[in-house]
Structure 1
Amino acid sequence: MNHRDLRLVNFERMEAWPATLLRARGNASVRALRAARWVLRRKADGRYLATLDADGKLYALLPPALARARRQLHPAELSGHLHQVERQPRPAPMPSHALREHCVRLGLDAGYSQRHGLPLVPEPSWLALADFDRWQRPLWLLPQAAAGWRRMQAAAAADGVRLEAISGYRSHAYQLGIFRRKLARGQTLAQILSVNAAPGYSEHHSGRALDIGTPGQPPAEESFEATPAFAWLCENAAAFGFHLSYPRDNPHGIVYEPWHWCLRT
């Protein structure tokens, strides 16, 4: 199968990755990954939960002590969801029942969305493998964003400009983890919100946004503005459907991000 046909499939608390894209983590997972078609990962921390083979046979990778997580692993239900999503010609938006509760626990009030002009962004039911990022991690995007990114990157290369993907899709749980880690380091909620959209409100959840860099430049730094890559994007990105989301003095209260570009629908 062409790597561009590979998908990440979303569940509410976990996600299924093609086993060919993942490495074993310890002896217990080596044999399981060899026979696996899918690897189920916990969204919150990327922990491997289980593998599924082509026949829907499940191999749990969690110790019995994590009983709650193990109880969520129902082979027939998991296989049925995967087969259903694989037949979808286009990703569908997924509900997130627990997101509001998590935001309240962070201290976010119900008026956040209206004040910052940021709509709730549902996770897609599946995403396409667009390519690999600077660190050779899988880059997941919506199919149309993946195709647009590949065309834009190739066009830039033809003009002598190298564009690198820094990151693409992020789950609600991943964004929530960013907030929890920064709060644990002593940052205030206001400080975090000036840099990161609240969980559920980031364009990265949509699969249409990606952070872009260029060789020799640190990732996600304002210095990217002074590069030929940024100048090329300002002149050409719109032709591929991508636009700068957070220019200077944007109405969302987010700092200037010359690296963050999003495919407009």
Structure 2
Amino acid sequence: MFYLSLFFQYASQYLKTRLTYRADTIIEILSDLLFQAVNLIFIVIVFRHTAFLGGWNRDEIIFIYGFFLVPYAIFSSFFNIWDFNDRYIVKGEMDRILTRPVHSLFQIILERIELESLFGAVTGLLVMSYAMANLDLTFAWYDVLIFIVMVIGGAFIYAGIFISIATIGFWSDSRTDIMPMMYNISNYGRYPINIYNKVIQFVLTWILPFAFVGVYPASYFLNREEWYGYAFFTPVMGILFFGIAILLWNAGVKRYRGAGN
């Protein structure tokens, strides 16, 4: 309850700050929507030249893309630690974090929340609804619960991977380009896994499991029974990778010796 109370206090202060600069907030939301629209246009252009891509039709891939946007929006809102190394290690702000009686990772998550990114989840739901209408898909009452579990699992996979990468800063205080590269690799999870070669499929499934954020869980709702085993493994992968990230973080904090010459 203490941590939950802290979260709401931080969220309240963040919203007050963002509402002070309403124009900037609106422009940021619109630019994000425009970026998602460009990706959708790309999918539409591809399917002007082919009816199927790896056995998937246009509306199925649009549904996968919409599903992907929901866990990605949650991750972007609450695990925005792309600049951890530069801000907290190189500039020494980790010293400030460690003086407080709250878990260091939780503090950083609270300091870096971007609640406006949750609009991406709304966009994803709208895209999914459009694809569902074209595919004549229907949801059972329990599918809503399965959807929530898979979305949380996907968000945890993202969080686990990027928190693990952030922990490199505890052992190496120099700036690296790993984080931007990983963001680019994560985009592969937006599309069906079987359109890639076997090596990339293995990497996106077991090494950097971004496929569990998009195509695998989405395949359950698309009635792709051949992918059901992977789909229901999504929350397991989320717990596994997030758990590994926490272990690495705690080990890194013990290794941290503070800022200085």
Per the normalisation by structure 1, the TM-score is 0.28
TM-score (norm 2): 0.28
Identify the structure with the greater strand proportion: 1
Higher relative contact order (CA 8 A, sep 6+): 2
